[in-house]
Structure 1
Amino acid sequence: MKMRSESNSIVNPVTEGNIKKEVLLFFFPIFFGSLFQQVYNAADAMIVGRFLGKEALSAVGGSAGMIILLVVGFFVGLSSGASVLVSQYYGAKNEERVSASVHTVMMFGLLCGILITFAGIVLTPAMLRLLDTPADTMEMSVIYLRVYFAGMTGNLLYNIGSGVLRAAGDSRRPFLFLVVCCVLNIVLDLIFIIPMGMGVFGAALATILSQAVSAVLVIIIMCRTEDSYRLRPAEAGIDPGIIEKMMKIGLPAGLQSVMYGVSNLIIQAGVNGLGTDHVAAWATYYKIDGLFWMAMYAYGIAASTFVGQNYGAGHIERVKKSFITCMVQAAAAAVLISAVIYSISPWLFPLFTTDPGVNKIGVDMMRYLTRFYVLYVSVEIIPGALRGVGDTLIPMFISGAWICLLRSIWIIFVMPLKKDMYTMMFSYPLSWSICTAAFFIYLFRYSSLKEVLRKKDRV
């Protein structure tokens, strides 16, 4: 996707191009980047499990993995506030505010990375004990998590920097950097784990080194660009006004990510109570249906970027068209993915396990839940569009109440009354349906976007 130069001689495709075409061009790099990362995660787990054993695999993917997801998810959500600001200022062609935002958020990422590194290293044993980490994996979990925290700065700078690029309409280069990161991580895994025998320390070291390389690549691009988001290290600093705006937008998104993580832990506890076969089937189901979540995530970012830039540019009619386009394309993708996964699920599960009992349970899970996937579309796209205009607080409460809290209550209080797989799974379409209704009511009656949709273009 071409970027606008400082002379404004290049058309900005987000605010001036064909919306249907540009949304697709923006969507695919994010989607394939997520897909590539999913493949990498599977390969990484295979290397650790095959060459270091089940204890090492549990150490990397168990409690330590949960902590990493919660911490990274929170700060990625927080940094989304920076992406929204850059998107709005970029769409408005306010180069001064774009530059100030970029320098502030990159400095913020650097400081947060240093803080998380020191706090994480000190608190690692306590966090692992809090999650009741098994004694036979505790030592390896501590090693892995501490090394991971040591490299947190690279992780945050990559996520914030790639968020800036996407906010400016460039989803291609973040995808390429992600591919470089994943390939390098696998290569380093093989080197550190097999010939060098570095164990889980090597696995963690491979991860933070590859993330550092990705961060460096993003920073180089930002330092060399002639566009308004150019990074000049000497100008890096903290603008309190920008931090305040970023927090107002990003903090609800970060907290929402944490709430999702906690509710998923509660759901996993409910699945654990159904027995080993159900746990294995559920874990496999999550690997397969990741395709759907990746597509919805990509369209959510597209909605935020296209709505945000056009809102900043004052192109209100394009705000409407961007929102509708993302909704329609995401719904079409949901139907297509659901139909494909539903049809081929009997052939997919045997790729992961040869146990017929696990496969039958997994196929039943897949064919039950895929019928309701289309209900989730609004849960991703409406908050994405609202995030583009800076409206994040109420969407956080809607998602927190009707997805995270409702599912947790369902698992804790309803599932014991009828302890089976379908009772557990019903919490998903139930929460999606109620949350969708709540989002539409808020969107058309109370939201900031509702007011925007009533206005005409500022031309």
Structure 2
Amino acid sequence: MVFWAISGGLEMAVEIIISQLIGQKNQDSLAQTTRTVLAFDGICGIIVAILGIFCLPAVFRLISVPDNMMRYALIYGRIYLAGLFLIHVYDGGRAILTAAEDTKKSFYLMLTTTVLNLIFNFLFIVGLKLGVAGSAMGTILAQLIGALLTLKLLEDKFHFAKYSGRIFNAKQIKNVLHIAFPATFQQFVVTFGGVLIQSLVNPFGREVIIGYVAILRIMNFFRIVWVGLAQTLTVYGDQLISARQFSGFKKSIANSASRSS
């Protein structure tokens, strides 16, 4: 979960920047920005994965993972981290589609990867008897397919692969980091709080851990609605502000507040 904070921060930054370009009707910069942020997302995923693989044992010991679960946790964590860059590219690409108001394709992408994840997990765990490793491999394989589909959709929409400029644009990366740092810090604080609570739960043993994780899954399910509303307001608001439609922005804030109450 800690490693997701960086991906989440980058995803939010990408949504905001693409929304601003669309609001400004700056079509020329969309292909360049798409290419830059996808490459930057992938590299960030690789760096985080390398650090995570080496730090994983220390992190698990810090949060008091039981000895009888440590081996399985390390297997899953290392395989998952090995494919983390795919998740970064997938999340970044899906954020671009969402910001470009192509929410249906973004939804279908998420639905596709979720279904594939379930199928691959069943195949690797039940069919091939690979256990925890199979679960991690199924997730990464689903994310690989999702990332490839995302790149195909973005290429069809923005033709970023045909862009002849530099892959990395320093100005765009600076803009991404300017937004991503506070967003990542916010998510890291929330995630760290969850990890801290997890460290208090882990000493009680396997049964309590399973129950706690199950409750977290249920809570996260109900949080999806509010997170989706917040992301939508962020994207839509940035487009309105960039287009200098301040009255529309005020109305969107008022409507969101009334629906949330």
Do Structure 1 and Structure 2 share a fold, with TM-score over 0.5?
A: yes
Q: Is the 8 A contact 1:295 1:330 kept in 2?
A: no
Deviation at 1:92, TM superposition (A): 1.1
Identity %: 25
Q: Is the 8 A contact 2:87 2:143 kept in 1?
A: yes
Secondary structure of residue in 2 paired with 1:238: coil
Correspondence list, 1:97-116, <5 A: 97-116=29-48
1: distance between equivalents of 2:224 and 2:116? Answer: 22
> Which residue does 2:68 correspond to in 1?
136
Residue range with higher mean Cα deviation, 297-306 or 230-239:
230-239
> Which residue does 1:357 correspond to in 2?
none
1: distance between equivalents of 2:59 and 2:125? Answer: 26
AA aligned to 2:156 is: R
Over 3 Å counting, the alpha-carbon distance change for 1:174 and 1:273 in structure 2 is same
> Which residue does 1:304 correspond to in 2?
234
Q: Which digits, 9 at most, give the CA deviation of each residue in 1:385-435, with x for residues without a partner?
A: xxxxxxxxxxxxxxxxxxxxxxxxxxxxxxxxxxxxxxxxxxxxxxxxxxx
> Which residue does 2:146 correspond to in 1?
214
How many residues of Structure 1 are paired with residues of Structure 2 in the alignment?
260
Correspondence list, 1:76-225, <5 A: 76-225=8-157
Q: Is the 8 A contact 2:124 2:138 kept in 1?
A: yes
Instruction: Identify the structure with the greater helix proportion.
Output: 2
Over 3 Å counting, the alpha-carbon distance change for 1:329 and 1:141 in structure 2 is same
Q: Is the 8 A contact 1:224 1:230 kept in 2?
A: yes
Q: Which digits, 9 at most, give the CA deviation of each residue in 1:295-346, with x for residues without a partner?
A: 1101101110110011111111111112222222233xxxxxxxxxxxxxxx
Q: Is the 8 A contact 2:13 2:176 kept in 1?
A: yes
Q: Which digits, 9 at most, give the CA deviation of each residue in 1:71-119, with x for residues without a partner?
A: 1122221331121011011111011222222111011012112223333
2: distance between equivalents of 1:99 and 1:263? Answer: 38
> Which residue does 2:177 correspond to in 1?
247
Q: CA RMSD in A?
A: 2.6
AA aligned to 2:194 is: N
Deviation at 1:261, TM superposition (A): 1.2
Deviation at 1:276, TM superposition (A): 11
Q: Is the 8 A contact 1:82 1:101 kept in 2?
A: no
> Which residue does 1:326 correspond to in 2?
256
2: distance between equivalents of 1:269 and 1:140? Answer: 17
Over 3 Å counting, the alpha-carbon distance change for 1:202 and 1:311 in structure 2 is same
Residue range with higher mean Cα deviation, 283-292 or 110-119:
283-292
Q: Is the 8 A contact 1:78 1:252 kept in 2?
A: no
Secondary structure of residue in 2 paired with 1:197: coil
> Which residue does 1:263 correspond to in 2?
193
Is there any run of 5+ residues in structure 1 with no aligned partner, and where? 1-68, 332-459
Secondary structure of residue in 1 paired with 2:127: coil
Is there any run of 5+ residues in structure 2 with no aligned partner, and where? none
Deviation at 1:291, TM superposition (A): 4.3
Q: Which digits, 9 at most, give the CA deviation of each residue in 1:21-58, with x for residues without a partner?
A: xxxxxxxxxxxxxxxxxxxxxxxxxxxxxxxxxxxxxx
AA aligned to 1:311 is: I
Q: TM-score, normalised by structure 1?
A: 0.52
